[in-house]
Amino acid sequence: MSEYSDTHDGPETIDDFEAAAFQEFNEQVEDKKSSSALGDEVNLDVILDVPVTISMEIGRTQINIRNLLQLNQGSVVELERFAGEPLDVMVNGTLIAHGEVVVINDKFGIRLTDVISPSERVKRLA
C-alpha cells in the first residue's frame, strides 16, 4: 500500500489489496436452521442482567409552547385517552402490554391485562 504524507499532492493510490470473502446468506440461514434442529437452545443468561427502562403511559397530548409556559400548580392537561382505558406498558419505548392502575400498600402499581406477543411487537416495529 502506498504511504500518505503531508507533502503528497496527488490522489492516494492503493497498490495491494485483497478481495473480501463473504459467506452466502442462504448458507448462514441453513446453518442456523440445522443447529436449532439439533436441539441447541438459546442462552438468555447473557442478557438477563441488562437494565431496561419500563414506563406506564396514561396518555399523550400535544400543546404549543405558549400553553406549556402557562402551566402552573393546579393546571389540568387533557389527555387523548378516555377514563377507564388501559394504560400502555412500554419497555425502552416499545409497547409490550396494557394494564390497569392498582394501589398496593399506599403505592401505585399496574396489573397487566394484556401482554403483546413477541410476533405482534415485531409487526408494530415495521
- Kindly report, residue by residue over 44-95, the tens digit of the pLDDT: 788 888 998 989 888 889 999 999 999 999 999 998 888 888 999 988 888 8
Alpha helices in the chain (DSSP H): 25-37, 65-69, 118-125
Determine contact, residues 92/52, Cβ cutoff 8 Å: yes
Give CA 1 to chain center in angstroms: 42
Q: Grid coordinates representing 22? A: 463473504
Domain 43-125: state its class: mainly beta
pLDDT of 43 > 70? The answer is yes
Dist CA 81 CA 112 (whole Å): 18
pLDDT of residue 65: 95
Domain boundaries of the chain, sorted by first residue: 43-125
pLDDT of residue 94: 86
pTM higher than 0.85 for the full model?
Answer: no
Q: What is the structure's pLDDT at 70? A: 94
